[in-house]
Amino acid sequence: MKTTIRIIYILICVLVLSSCGNDSECKSSIARQEQEIVEDHLVAYPGRTFNYKQKFNDQQATQLAVASRIGLKRPPKDRDDASKMHKQLVEIRSNANYVVDELTHSVPYLIPSAKHELDAIGEEWADILRRNELPHYRFIVTSVLRTQEDIKYLQRSGNINSVSQSCHCYGTTFDLAYMRYDKVTRTRDYMHEDNLRLVLGQVLLNHQRAGKIYVKYEGKQSCFHVTVRE
C-alpha cells in the first residue's frame, strides 16, 4: 500500500513539474514536498500491551447466537440482492478512518447497528491517534457480509471459512486486519504495524468491555473478528 501511494505521488509530481516549465521556484517547491514525506522518524502509541488471545476470545457459538438473533433471517443471494435490501442493510464505504478492502468473498453491507459500531470504532481510533499526536492511519476492513453466492464459492474452493452458519451471513460481523494499515498523513513520522495493532486492540477492548461487541482474535487470518451485540 505504501509503495502504491508513493508511486502515485511521484506520478503527480512529474505531471506538476511538467506544468512548471522553466519555473525553478515551482520545481524547488515540489522537490521540498517530496523530501518531506520520507518516513524516517519512528513514533509509538504509549499504551500498555496485553494478550490479544486472552482478551479477545469470544467464541464462534457465542457470536453466532447473537448474530442469528439480531441479524438477517437469510443471507442475500448475491451483491445485487444485497443492494436491494434497503430496509435491512446499509452499505459501508472507505472513509477518513478506515478502508474497505477489495472484497473477494463478501459484500460491503451491514445491518445499521453494526455500521454504527464500525464508525464509532473508527472515530475512537482516530481520536487516540490525534490525542497522542501520532500520524493518521486508516485500519482495513477485510470481510463483511457473505452472500449465498460467496458461500457456494468458498465451499467449492475448500476454503476453511466456507461454513454456511458463519456470523458473516447475518450482516452483524466484520473483520479488521491487524497487520495492514493505510497511512494518510504525509509526514516523516511513522508507526510499526504491531504498535498500530495495539491502538486498534485498545479501542476494541473498550467497546467489548462496554458490552457493545464480541471479538475473536484470529491468528491465521491476521484479523479481529467482530460481531455487534445489539
160 confidence band (pLDDT: 50, 70, 90) = low
pLDDT for the residue 152: 87
Question: What is the secondary structure of the chain as a DSSP string?
Answer: -HHHHHHHHHHHHHHHHHHHTT-HHHHHHHHHHHHHT---EE----PPP--HHHHSB--HHHHHHHHHHHS-SS--SSHHHHHT-TTT-EE----SSEEE---SSSBSEE-HHHHHHHHHHHHHHHHHHHHTTPPPEEEEEEE-BPPHHHHHHHHHHT-TT--TT-GGGTT-EEEEEEEEEEE-S-SSEE--HHHHHHHHHHHHHHHHHTTSEEEEEETTTTEEEEEE--
Does pLDDT of 156 surpass 90? Answer: no
pLDDT for the residue 2: 44
Does pLDDT of 35 surpass 70? Answer: no
162 confidence band (pLDDT: 50, 70, 90) = low
Q: pTM score, two decimals? A: 0.82
